[in-house]
Structure 1
Amino acid sequence: MDYYRVGTLVNTHGIRGEVKVVVVTDFPEERFKVGQQLVLFKSPDATTGGITVTVAKAREQKGLYFLTFKGLDNINDVEGYKGWTIKVPAEALHQLPAGEYYYHQIVGLDVVTTDDEPLGTIKEILSPGANDVWVVKRAHGQADVLLPKIPQVIKKVDLDAGVVTVELMEGLID
């Protein structure tokens, strides 16, 4: 079965089993809603040996999510899961509208300019505010390029070819 990472359980919060989660999903309000089933894995690369939990309570604060799981209602129940990865099964992903993508579909794609110049590979996606920012790792130790996900910059995403075509605005590359 395929799983997709949606967060990392970074710490406990209080004594009633609440955990603090760093979110790495584009739909946290859906992924962490009450009743949602999540799978906890000790390692980010693991696909077996996960522990299925059900969200009992969820709240967002300052970009983090605080979750409580059914049946795990004190600090002793959850303390051992610090550092574990939170994933959802592939079946939990819904079809997106045209032009929308899941993070896992974008990370790893090659990036070229509209002049067909290779720029690098997307290594992560940041969500600092109004628009996501795609971080492009460049070759030969050059500084990463931060590309805002706006139509003026991201011109074409070809998942089949594994390529994103971008138009660089002035100042995006030093």
Structure 2
Amino acid sequence: MQLVVARIGRAHGIKGEVTVEVRTDEPELRLAPGAVLATDPPTAGPLTIASGRVHSGRLLLRFEGVEDRNAAEALRNTLLIAEVDPDELPEGEDEYYDHQLIDLDVVTEDGAEVGRVTEVVHLPSQDLFVVERPDGGEVMIPFVREIVTEIDLAEQKAVIDPPPGLIDDRAEIASSRDDSA
């Protein structure tokens, strides 16, 4: 199985280094020197990582055969793709690879259907599930323990306890219940 692990940004310096937007929770494993990565577009690769370092909070990589700024700049916006065994699991107990979460059915704790996970977005503060609703709309659900209460890979479902207003007009429903009481 192939996973996008990074996107190449702008060139850094004159010796072929590039900035990288990391898209994996395991950069030390997936973006280590010696790693060979496929690319999108495929004409750019495969690329072998020669070295990596962190500079001003950004990961910088240098690839074998990319010796100058022009060659590095030509790689801008290229996606780096790692080959991952589909049976491989992350080290942590409550950790998941994106490919394990994509296509999970999302239901509330009372069993109501919410939709299907189509994408996992990695933001600096938290990750989000992009969930396609049965009506074709989308909703973003923060992937935090307080909201996503269970991931059941065997049943291919994610159980959520959404706060009012996250997935529908629950705030309106709650206030109408309060009015009728």
Deviation at 1:60, TM superposition (A): 5.6
Question: Larger Rg: 1 or 2?
Answer: 2
Residues of 2 paired with 1:78 and 1:57: CA distance?
A: 14
Residues of 1 paired with 2:9 and 2:116: CA distance?
A: 28
Alignment CA distance shift 1:28-1:95 (3 Å) = closer
Q: Which residue of structure 1 lines up, in the alignment, with residue 53 of structure 2? A: 58
The answer to whether structure 1 residue 38 and structure 2 residue 36 are counterparts is yes
* Identity among equivalent pairs (%): 27
Q: Which amino acid aligns with 1:128?
A: P
Whose relative contact order is higher, 1 or 2, with alpha carbons under 8 Å and at least 6 apart?
1
Question: Normalised by the size of structure 1, how large is the TM-score?
Answer: 0.77
1:89 to 83, 88, 92: 83
Q: Which residue of structure 1 lines up, in the alignment, with residue 148 of structure 2? A: 154
Deviation at 1:134, TM superposition (A): 2.5
The answer to whether structure 1 residue 118 and structure 2 residue 113 are counterparts is yes
Secondary structure in structure 1 of the residue aligned to 2:74: helix
Query: Alpha carbon RMSD of aligned pairs, Å?
Result: 2.7
Q: Which amino acid aligns with 1:90?
A: V
Residues of 1 paired with 2:55 and 2:102: CA distance?
A: 25
Deviation at 1:22, TM superposition (A): 1.8
Q: Which residue of structure 1 lines up, in the alignment, with residue 95 of structure 2? A: 100
**Structure 2, gaps ≥5 residues long:** 170-181
Q: Deviations over 1:12-65 (max 9, x none)?
A: 2232211122221112243323x241313133xx6x994131241222645x53
**Structure 1, gaps ≥5 residues long:** none
Secondary structure in structure 2 of the residue aligned to 1:66: strand
Structure with a larger share of its residues in helix: 2
Question: Normalised by the size of structure 2, how large is the TM-score?
Answer: 0.74
Secondary structure in structure 2 of the residue aligned to 1:81: coil
